[in-house]
Amino acid sequence: MLLEARNLHIGYGDASAVWDVSLDVDAGEIVSVIGPNGAGKTTLINAVAGLLRCRRGDLRFDGVDMTSVKSHDYCAHGIALVPEGRRLFVKMSVEENLEIGCYLPAARAARDQSLERVYDLFPILRGKRLQLAGELSGGQQQMVAIGRALMARPRIVLFDEPSLGLAPTIVDDMFEIIAKVRDDGAAVLLVEQNVIKALSVADRAYVLEQGRIVATGLPDDLLKQPHIREAYLGV
């Protein structure tokens, strides 16, 4: 198993946000975590990315105990995050934002190849490579955020609410891109409120509510559960 999380407890100050959460992501998989606002999805993925420390539990990536790894070294292990809200440097160009993703020596050595890969995946960015990131549409900014993560040549890409703030016409394209990221060789851990889209690309999924995993399984099986249909689909 590529990513293994066991009995994670995560919080902010004295407040706990995630309790006793366990999940796995294997190489070549897309695993989705769905749940309502405030369920702890962003907290969970930030802990997997190294931005938050786990209070208790075991987090391993390719057999390495990540709880003892410094946050700034997570990327070197092959973990990349596409954060909620994109978090681009809006006064820098598209290409400058992309290059931030390849600051590690191994990724820097493959800069040109990685840039071509990103521009092949997002052809519209090639023509906008010298444009300021802040001048792009929301969908184009999300492309830059994904491209920046791919520049690190990761083994797993963590997506935090990638459809947030995007026009409905762009959302379908975004999930097709997430599937392509997996097809190109990186595993994917996706947290997302758009249940139908998140499950449509997933190999397996977890349901997170009030900081706890309440269901797990294949997407089709989860969609058949009455609680899931009522809570997330309004059926």
pLDDT of res. 234: 66
- Whether 190 contacts 82, CB under 8 Å: no
Determine the average pLDDT of the residues in 98-102.
Answer: 96
Q: How confident is the model at residue 108 (pLDDT cuts 50, 70, 90)?
A: very high
Domain ranges of the chain: 1-74+191-235
Rounded distance between C-alpha atoms, residue 191 and residue 45, angstroms: 7
Is a pLDDT exceeding 90 seen at residue 13? no
Q: Which tokens in the block code for residue 43? A: 């907290």
Q: Which tokens in the block code for residue 58? A: 């075991």
Mean pLDDT, the chain, integer: 94
Is a pLDDT exceeding 60 seen at residue 203? yes
Is a pLDDT exceeding 90 seen at residue 228? no
Q: What is the DSSP letter of 55?
A: S
Rounded distance between C-alpha atoms, residue 113 and residue 141, angstroms: 21
The rounded percent of the chain whose pLDDT value lies above 90 is 87
Q: How confident is the model at residue 230 (pLDDT cuts 50, 70, 90)?
A: confident
Q: What is the DSSP letter of 93?
A: B
CA torsion, points 141, 45, 194, 90, in degrees to nearest 10?
-10
The half-sphere exposure of 167 on its side-chain side, counting CA atoms within 13 A, is 7
Rounded distance between C-alpha atoms, residue 174 and residue 211, angstroms: 27
Determine the average pLDDT of the residues in 192-200.
Answer: 92
- At 148-191, the pLDDT tens digits run 999 999 999 999 999 988 988 899 999 999 999 999 999 999 99
Rounded distance between C-alpha atoms, residue 82 and residue 172, angstroms: 17
pLDDT of res. 28: 95
- At 116-151, the pLDDT tens digits run 999 999 999 999 999 999 999 999 999 999 999 999
> Quick check: pTM over 0.85?
yes
Is a pLDDT exceeding 90 seen at residue 22? yes
The CATH number given to 1-74+191-235 is: 3.40.50.300
Task: Point out the least confidently predicted range of 1-5, 57-61, 82-86.
Answer: 82-86
Q: How far is CA 84 from CA 56, 89, 158, 160, 165, in A?
A: 25, 14, 10, 5, 10
With 0-12 / 13-18 / 19 or more C-beta atoms within 10 angstroms meaning exposed / middle / buried, residue 53 is: exposed
Determine the average pLDDT of the residues in 59-67.
Answer: 97
pLDDT of res. 235: 52
**What residues contact 221, with CB distance under 8 A and at least 6 apart?**
none
